[in-house]
Amino acid sequence: MSRSQRLFDLLQILRCHKYPVSAEHLAEQLNVSVRTIYRDIATLQTQGAEIEGEAGLGYILKPTFTLPPLMFSMEELEALLLGADWISKQANGEFSESAKNAIAKISAVLPADHKVKHSQEVMRVASIIEVPELTIDMSDIRKAIKHQYKANINYLDLKGNSSSRVIWPILIGMFQQHYVLVAWCETRNAFRNFRLDRIEDWQTLEQKYLPHRSELLKKWQQEEGISQPKLRY
């Protein structure tokens, strides 16, 4: 690996961490000595990289520092294209245009020898997960999650019973081929996972919920204990 590539990789590693990273960890990641890391950090700092920290405490890249346009390997491009292809073909098409636009923007800044002529030259998405069509607008749910608004929903359970509930939406995921909304349910006074295709009506309320969504998400994860939640209706 050339030194210029190593310096770039060092910036990339620092960019991925929100907290100070030790020189020992950086050295292990780049397969070099700790002394080399110290020299590389000093070089980057003299070249304008906003790296804070010192030996023994660790280093962090200030979030205001902007890296130059990234150079993707062909493998990284293939992964990005496959992911975008998969997203664009899912039912409801929620992120189809966004995925296509993202790939177009990435391709626009790449050198000619790194552009991918055909998105499925080597690998392709062979199947599409069939997701039930939604009767509500997912953008309304995303907005409520982002701003921590409560919502009033009419929900149809597996037995065909409809109920009205006030919920605190915190996360949208895809589990068992369904879009699922993780939320705190005021009616049940507990976390519940709602299939989006069974929400008959959605009304975002002006009232915000507390505590912060990140705290609720941690509590939900602790209760579940695993990455795949149990679907409780």
Domain count, the chain: 3
Structural tokens at position 104: 């177009």
Average of per-residue pLDDT across 206-219: 93
Peptide bond into 68 cis (omega under 30): no
Average of per-residue pLDDT across 215-227: 84
Helix or strand or coil: residue 117?
coil
Confidence of residue 62 (pLDDT cuts 50, 70, 90): confident
Domain assignment present for residue 231? The answer is no
| CATH code of 156's domain | 2.30.30.520
Min mean pLDDT across 30-44, 106-120, 135-149, 172-186 is at 106-120
Quick one: residue 176, left, alpha or beta (phi over 0 = left, psi -120 to 50 = alpha)? left
Residue at which a domain ends, from 13, 28, 61? 61
Q: Are residues 101 and 119 in the same domain?
A: yes
Q: How far apart are CA 26 and CA 14, in angstroms?
A: 9
Residue 125 has pLDDT above 80, yes or no: no
Quick one: residue 20, left, alpha or beta (phi over 0 = left, psi -120 to 50 = alpha)? beta
Domain assignment present for residue 84? The answer is yes
Domain assignment present for residue 193? The answer is yes
Confidence of residue 75 (pLDDT cuts 50, 70, 90): confident
Residue at which a domain ends, from 13, 43, 61? 61
Q: What is the DSSP letter of 68?
A: P
Average of per-residue pLDDT across 21-34: 93
Task: State pLDDT tens for residues 169-198.
Answer: 999 987 767 789 999 999 999 999 999 999
| CATH code of 23's domain | 1.10.10.10
Q: Are residues 118 and 144 in the same domain?
A: no
Q: Are residues 147 and 209 in the same domain?
A: yes
Q: Are residues 220 and 155 in the same domain?
A: yes
Domain assignment present for residue 232? The answer is no
Q: Are residues 88 and 143 in the same domain?
A: no
pLDDT of residue 5: 82
Structural tokens at position 164: 């009205």
Min mean pLDDT across 22-31, 52-61, 95-104 is at 95-104
Q: Which domain holds residue 118?
A: 69-130
pLDDT of residue 81: 74
Min mean pLDDT across 54-58, 61-65, 93-97, 177-181 is at 93-97
Q: Are residues 178 and 217 in the same domain?
A: yes
Closest by CA position to 169, among listed 222, 209, 200, 122: 209
Domain assignment present for residue 10? The answer is yes
Q: Are residues 155 and 121 in the same domain?
A: no
pLDDT of residue 175: 73
pLDDT of residue 231: 47
Domain assignment present for residue 233? The answer is no
Looking only at the bridges linking them, the beta strands covering 162-175 and 58-61 are unpaired
Task: State the burial class of residue 91 (Cβ atoms within 10 Å of its Cβ: 0-12, 13-18, 19+).
Answer: middle
Q: Are residues 114 and 144 in the same domain?
A: no
